Chains A and B, each alone.
Chain A
Amino acid sequence: MNARPQNAEAPAHERFPLKPGKTYGLMCVVPTRTENTGSAAEKQVQSWPAALSRELLLFLVTVVALGLVSYFFNAPLEEPASALHPPNPAKAPWYFLGLQEMVSYSAFWGGIGIPGILVGLAMAAPYLERKRGGEGVWFHHSRSGANWTFLTLMTTLGILTLIGTLFRGENWALIVPW
């Protein structure tokens, strides 16, 4: 498996000693940069067991966490559905309450326009951000502009969701939940 020469540091004539029975000549010089010169070899490890054991652990954590929550908290079940008795207010599931909150300002923009633009922006984001660097590093300083824009949008959506979930009562009026 370990094909790398042991003495990679040694000069070329030591690593590849001339064989006495052969003649040598310079055939050509290729004027390109070779792949990977100058960069240190990255450390790779076998997925088994290094990665797979961790993945199994995460699986167990998932099952145990969901199991515990399900043991202590029961899923809600209200009265049977009735088209004649609309609750006030009727609310979408929590992940759409940011939308519902925006819809209360403008039906088209809140429900279709802005969400559409956001999805479009999300899909375009990696193509718009062309500057390289900062990959695999949390909050890399060279990407602070992009990160701030992203966090601002996400926080705004989060706050709208929170308002729609907790601070909206009858007729969608602002309420204090406590």
Chain B
Amino acid sequence: MSIREVAVADEAGLLGRIYRSIFRVRPVPQTELERSQAVASNFFFHIHSAKVYEETLKFKKTLGLGLFSLFTFVVLVITGILLMFYYVPAPEQAYQRMLDLRGVVSFGTFLRNMHRWGAHAMVGLVILHMMRVYLTGAHKAPRELNWVIGVVLLLLTLFLSFTGYLLPWDQLAYWAIMVGTSIASYAPVVGDQIRFFLLGDDDVGREALLRFYVLHVVVLPAVLSALIGLHFWRIRKDGGLARPSTDE
């Protein structure tokens, strides 16, 4: 049955037509074709191939680490947006807002915990994912470019986590960023300029907090999301995940 035929076959009044306008297949696809269409004609899964090699589905092949990285990122985006409703990136208010999350906002502590532990977890998961890719030889031709994209993803993940670290504006945050950004100043010739560019000042202060905030909630997540899209698209273009049968 084609998409059209399916649509005609169970056209059942208004609700059916509304459903059909969003999803092109039945809730539980019955045929191979419909199963393909469930993936290929669905906006959310459009990036996913309609078929996968059975070999690469095995958990021990990937340990699920790429997907764990992705889903942790999803959790971070959701909790991060919720935190944005309470947070103010100004030195006089930022810390007080942390106390409010703890005392006044319902589930505020849980929300902040989720975002913080998620951020630590994501750094670890992405590193582990990189290790699994290398140790299974999945970085080699034709997947070189996707590996390089991956290295950029790792650097972005580190930087995303680092910019978030300053936002609570407590001693831990302040001095970690002080130390972290001083590393940038060890670059020859332009070191101090780089640090000034990051902080918007000679020291960590009002300007740095604002810069890190904008990087943390807009710039880096946007770039990271776009690159993750590219990363997944490349997996398809490189012929699915690495597996011995074709590549050897």
Contact = CB atoms under 8 A, between A and B. Distances in A.
Interface in A19-62: 39-40, 42-52, 54-55, 58-59, 61-62
Interface in A65-90: 66-67, 69-71, 73-83, 85-87, 90
B63 to A, nearest CB: 10
A134 B248 CA distance: 7
A77 B144 CA distance: 42
Contacts of B99: 77
A93 B186 contact: no
Most buried by B among A83, A91, A93: A93
Nearest to A109: B186
Interface stretch (B9-17, B168-176, B213-221): B168-176
A159 interface: no
25 contacts: A42-B53, A42-B55, A44-B51, A44-B54, A45-B51, A46-B39, A46-B51, A47-B50, A48-B50, A52-B39, A58-B68, A69-B117, A75-B116, A79-B171, A81-B91, A81-B95, A96-B180, A111-B186, A119-B155, A126-B147, A132-B248, A135-B242, A138-B136, A140-B136, A150-B131
A165 interface: no
Contacts of B184: 111
Interface in B152-203: 155, 158, 161-162, 165, 168-176, 178-180, 183-184, 186-188, 191, 203
Contacts of B56: 136
Interface of B: 29, 31-33, 35-36, 38-39, 45, 48-57, 59-61, 64, 67-68, 71-72, 74-75, 91, 95, 98-99, 102, 109-110, 112-118, 120-121, 123, 131, 134-141, 143-144, 147-148, 151, 155, 158, 161-162, 165, 168-176, 178-180, 183-184, 186-188, 191, 203-205, 241-248
Contacts of A93: 161-162, 165, 176, 180
Contacts of B115: 75
A26 B39 CA distance: 44
B231 to A, nearest CB: 14
Contacts of B205: 83
Given A43-B53, A62-B68, A127-B144, A78 B170 contact: yes
Q: Which 8 A-B pairs have the closest CB atoms?
A: A81-B174, A70-B113, A135-B247, A90-B175, A126-B144, A75-B116, A136-B242, A136-B243
Contacts of A150: 131, 134-135
> Binding site of B, secondary structure by majority: helix, strand, loop or mixed?
helix
Contact of B98 (A46, A77, A133): A77
A65 B59 CA distance: 18
A122 interface: yes
Contacts of A125: 134, 139, 147
A176 interface: no
Interface residues of A, number: 79
Contacts of A135: 136-138, 140, 242-244, 247-248
Contacts of A43: 53-55
A119 to B, nearest CB: 7
A83 to B, nearest CB: 7
Nearest to B246: A42
A66 B117 contact: yes
Given A62-B71, A111-B183, A126-B139, A136 B55 contact: yes
Contacts of B95: 80-81
Contacts of B137: 133-137, 140, 143
